[in-house]
Amino acid sequence: MKSTNKDRFSQRQFRLLGGLVVAAAVLMLPEARLNANTQDVLMGLGTCYAVGTDLIGSAIHKPPVADHNTPDGGEDPNFTEAVKTYKKCFSKDFRFNIILSSGAVIPWESLIPNHAAGNAPWLQWANFVNNAFRGSLDSWDCPAGGPCNTNRYESTQHQLGTMMASARRDGTGFLQSYLTATHTFHIDANGKSLEENGSTGFSIAYGTYQNEMVKENGRWKIKERNLILRRGMTVPQPTRARR
């Protein structure tokens, strides 16, 4: 039976459609494999950030002021290790923004002082976290080689959950995770607060991290980390009953 022009046109349409389907499948497969292969890496960057932050939360020694504007010249190993950890996580253009429950945004430029602007971003952020946890440099009252008397926190713990990661074909990615951050106030052996406002017990914050990722020299890094802060509260330490 001789095929008509209409039949030949339908056949060409079918072959074209089939070719497009195959091409689309081929184009989609690399991205699917990319997501599967990099999901753990992207999630690990969120964990990397949390580990570095909690290392600073456990730093207790007085950090001397160094020429490069970091409040630690290597005296506290936890702070030193935190800087190394941040360096593994952050891109050269890293920035951190805080979004309050009201919707107001505290941008990177408002968090980082002008005198530190020339430093690498991982060092800038380590300084910010250090001052937030231990108080401003002027308030430190620390014996030589010993724990500071004005440590705000004894330790911190940043716990991440409900993590969702995706990678794009252009070498960028996205990671979102829920945050529960616990900060334990530092008290002395008699239960007296060493925090400037006299707080005891611990504070807890809830929020969501949203991260833009980028491939830098073949390695995934965090380019921008936004903390959507949902709520925070302080739980005081129970008072011992007198006998």
Write down the pLDDT at residue 71: 52
From residue 42, give the alpha-carbon distance in Å to each of 82, 121, 172.
Answer: 19, 19, 11
pLDDT at 57 over 90: no
The chain-wide mean pLDDT, for the chain, equals: 76
Q: Count how many domains the chain has.
A: 1
Nearest to 158 by CA among 184, 135, 136: 184
Q: What is the DSSP letter of 33?
A: H
Average pLDDT over residues 88-104: 94
Dump pLDDT digits (tens) for 128-168: 888 788 765 555 566 665 556 555 788 899 999 999 999 88
Q: How far is CA 165 from CA 93, 131, 221, 230, in A?
A: 20, 31, 13, 21
Residue 12 domain flag: no
Domain annotation covers residue 58: yes
CA–CA distance, 28 with 20 (Å, rounded to integer): 12
Q: Residue 46, exposed/middle/buried by CB under 10 A (0-12, 13-18, 19+)?
A: buried
Cα gap 161→180, rounded to integer Å? 8
Containing domain of residue 69, as a range?
Answer: 38-235
Residue 184 domain flag: yes
pLDDT (average), residues 34-61: 84
* pLDDT in the model for residue 200: 81
Residue 64 pLDDT more than 70? Answer: no
Q: Is the pLDDT of residue 228 over 90?
A: yes
Assigned token pair, 60:
């207790």
In-domain check, residue 95: yes
User: CA–CA distance from 213 to each of 119, 125, 173, 226 (Å)?
Assistant: 21, 17, 5, 12
Least confident of 164-178, 211-225, 228-242: 228-242
Asked whether residue 103 is domain-assigned, the answer is yes
Could you give phi then psi for residue 152, rounded to 5 degrees? -75, -45
Could you tell me the pTM of the whole model?
0.74
Is residue 190 domain-resident? yes
Query: What CATH number does residue 161 fall under?
Result: 3.10.450.50
Q: Is 14 domain-assigned? A: no
d(CA 53, CA 85): 9
Q: Given this model, what pLDDT does residue 77 score? A: 80
pLDDT in tens, 78-91: 888 888 999 999 99
- Whether 143 maps to a domain, the answer reads yes
Higher local confidence (pLDDT), 218 or 21 = 218
Whole-number Cα distances in Å, 238 to 69, 134, 182: 39, 23, 17
